[in-house]
Structure 1
Amino acid sequence: MKKLLLGLSIATIATSSAFAETYHPECFVPAPGTSIIEKSAKEGPYKIAFVNGFAGNDWRIAAIQASKAWAARPENAANIEKFTVVSVGNDSSAQIAAIDNFIAAGYDAITFIAVNPTAFEPVIRRAERAGTVLVPFDNVLDSDKIVQINESQFALGKLKAQTVMDELGGTAKKILMVNGLPGNATDRDRRLGMMSVLEKVDGLDIVEVVGNWDTGTSQKVVADALATHGQFDAVVSQHGSAGTINALQAANHPIVPMGVDGENGVRMLMADLKIPGVSAAQAPAMSAVALEAAVSLLQGHSLPQTVYLPIPQVKSKNLQAGVNYFPDLPKSFNTGTGFPSCFKPFSPQELLGQSIDNT
């Protein structure tokens, strides 16, 4: 396989045989049509930062805890001189400024959850000139110049919508769609995945609300939707689904098929209320996979430019206490604790023992 190694230049090779030679292919699975990126190896240990944006929900808290749990494992700590976590809110300029500060401070790699998908081309160029590896995950960028870690957000949205339509036998009159944080690529792509199924249903009225991936916000906007629109045949929710279920219960809404997230409390409610449908998650432990990718690139390994991790999911009929949900753990605990194809999943104790503060 021919590779280009010009300082931190990008090697792009798009043949299927090439991907067999990328590093740890059982973990870093290429998205369809993606290329390969490789950097020149740099001697460690490394200074690495995680620049989170929005920090106002349990998923982001879990992502921070997973990143710290990964950095604390001895096999990873040996490669890290310094690991820093900051959360900067929903302002893309603040996030870019934080990334620039870490570049100027000589950090070797920076992972981040992008506030929006389009504003980062200049900072990508600055990072490349400085020799800093950037690895966004979850909310990724509209860019093919850096390695990005994600699940297929389109597939995640499609899975939820297809599951509820299968439960309904393919027909419905009115469905509620609880979307995420506006302006993010993740919200956009999940919605497109849901719409790819729902827009094909004849005569379907789709009511959309903005839940911001937050339990409290979702509960409020769903309550308002129920007061305005009455009953729904099914619900698809990106995240914050416990709030969605609570609003339905408070309104004495009949049990209907739902496509929901993977928080522990959501699965507890699905099991207790016998809600048909699927719990499918964007696992916050992908923050750790992004760190694994950053170190791999710094060590000179080649990776797919866009990595698609498997979607953790369970149908409601297959929910089992102590197996895929945990009644003794906090409701906010996210059941997406890791990706076995990448490294040993974190135990609840590993995750819950980590602080959520900036470090």
Structure 2
Amino acid sequence: MASVKFITRLLGAASIAALTWGAHADTYKPECFSPAKDNQKTIQYDAKKGPYKIALVNGYVGNDWRITAIQSAKAWGARPDNAKQLSEFKVISVGNDSAAQIAAIDNYIAAGYDAIVINAVNPTAFDAVVKRAQRAGVVLVTFDNVLDSDKIVQVNEDQFDLGRMKAQAVVDGIKAAKGDVKGQVLEISGLPGNSVDRDNHEGMHSVLDQYKDLKVVQVVGNWDAGTAEKGTADAIATNGNFDGVMVQEGAIGALHAMQAAKHPVVPIGVDAGNGTRQLAVEGKYPGITAAQAPAMSALALEAAVVLLNGKALPQKVFLPIPNKNNADLVSGKDYFPDLPPNFYTTTGYPQCFPVFTPQELLGQDAQNAE
């Protein structure tokens, strides 16, 4: 398909050199930065000489996934090949406050940073700061909780498909056990207002809503094990036993609550935390553990450097979803009994760069690095 290019010159800075409509234009390392099915553009900036000043501005940091994402970002910055490309590298978390996150981004723009990577508090409040970054010639990349914007590169997994995958495993397990899909299932959602929570939920319901005899009980889990544990315990106390359970993140808490309530073993569609996978194996829970890999933060930083080097990327990147059937999980490969339960087992994307070792990640903390 022929592409149409247009040039946008921005005031006094390295500008976006071209936005190419159509998903088939040549882009950097497509085996890693694969275009989403609905991707419509590539984004490319004028090359800028390094070393670079780069910041990662995270929002919420109150769960194991976010902690590992920050550790992954710092581990990426510590690798010698990356460190030599950086003159300054800052990592901060601002809490679940879009105004605070926008203020932090503006501060880095004003300080002359070359690129800023964002895990957004919400998908809709950032249009003005995106325009300010463009005027200043600052590369923005968003990951995980992305923005509803086609102006910057998004690095993510297909969140809709992640939810669909978990729900399908639960539905398949119920059908195998009962011969039909009926009863009630528990859905532990994430942090309200985020794009990931929204898209995971919609993906789950693309499957669940097909079955009129299936009741769905939904509780908010905030992607947090403690919140998921309390929500699961309360849901069991109120509704009785469930025929299947789906959790966006924090499933170790849900499984602990099920064990404490002596809940029967049922199909689960859950995250890939180390403790979650151990409990899934020990309890012989059918279903799937599927991951939104925290190392996505490192891929977003990698994308920022790629763009600063003048190479093109799809505007909407979807990384592959790490997943495995619970019956196929292998100790020492898919989960690690000698590591903490809150260690996240999916530590990278091998088609992009060497995955992080547990030692690389555990050698970093989740504190702000300003």
TM superposition score category, shorter chain reference: over 0.9
What's the CA shift for 1:199?
Answer: 0.5
Q: For residue 209 of structure 1, what is the aligned residue in structure 2? A: 219
Q: Distance between the aligned counterparts of 2:42 and 2:163, measured in 1? A: 26
Aligned residue among 68, 74, 78 for 1:68? 74
2:16 alignment partner, SS class: coil
Specify the alignment match of 1:23 in structure 2.
28
Q: Is the contact made by 1:283 and 1:336 (CA closer than 8 Å) also made in structure 2?
A: yes
**What residue in structure 2 maps to residue 304 of structure 1?**
314
CA shift for structure 1 position 112: 1.3
Gaps of at least 5 residues in structure 2 are none
The answer for the alignment partner of 1:159 in structure 2 is 165
| Aligned-pair identity (%) | 58
Q: List aligned pairs for 1:1-359, cutoff 5 A.
A: 4-5=6-7, 6=9, 7-9=14-16, 11-18=18-25, 21-34=26-39, 35-169=41-175, 171-359=181-369
> Residues 304, 265 of structure 1: CA spacing in aligned structure 2 closer, same or farther, 3 A cutoff?
same
Q: Distance in 2 between matches of 1:129 and 1:329?
A: 46
- Cα drift, residue 12 of structure 1: 2.9
**CA offset at residue 2 of structure 1?**
6.8
Q: 1:357: Cα distance to partner?
A: 1.1
Question: For 1:192 and 1:2, how far apart are their aligned partners in 2?
Answer: 33
TM value normalised by structure 2: 0.95
Cα distance 1:166–1:238, how it changes in 2: closer, same or farther (>3 A)? same
C-alpha separation in 1, matches of 2:253 and 2:18: 45
Return the alpha-carbon distance in structure 2 between the equivalents of residues 124 and 10 of structure 1: 16
CA gap of 1:10–1:40, structure 2 versus 1, over 3 A, is closer
Distance 1:103 1:16, change over 3 A: closer
Contact 2:166–2:246 (Cα < 8 Å) also in 1: yes
- 2: CA distance between counterparts of 1:2 and 1:38? 14
Q: TM-score, normalised by structure 1?
A: 0.97
Q: Give the aligned CA root-mean-square deviation in angstroms.
A: 1.1
- Structure 1: distance between partners of 2:24 and 2:254: 45
Distance 2:253 2:173 in 1: 22
Q: Which ranges of 4 or more aligned residues in structure 1 deviate by more than 4 Å?
A: 1-5
State the secondary structure of the residue aligned to 1:85: strand
Q: Which runs of 5+ in 1 are unaligned?
A: none
Residue pair 2:187, 2:217 contacting (<8 A) in 1 also? yes
Per-residue CA deviations over 1:12-42 (Å, capped at 9, x if unaligned) read 3233541xx1011111000112111111111
Q: How many residues are treated as equivalent by the alignment? A: 357
Partners of 2:258 and 2:4 in 1: CA distance: 57
Structure 2: distance between partners of 1:10 and 1:339? 29
Between the aligned partners of 1:33 and 1:189, the Cα distance in structure 2 is: 15
Deviations 1:136-168 (A, max 9, x none): 100001100000000000000000000111111
Secondary structure of 1:222's counterpart equals: helix
Partners in 2 of 1:66 and 1:248 — Cα distance? 31
Give the Cα–Cα distance (whole angstroms) in 2 for the partners of residues 70 and 222 of structure 1: 36
Q: What amino acid maps onto 2:21 in structure 1?
A: A
- C-alpha deviation, 1:10, in angstroms: 5.9
Shift of 1:3: 5.0
Instruction: Give the Cα separation in 2 of the matches to 1:43 and 1:9.
Output: 15
Query: AA paired with 1:118?
Result: T
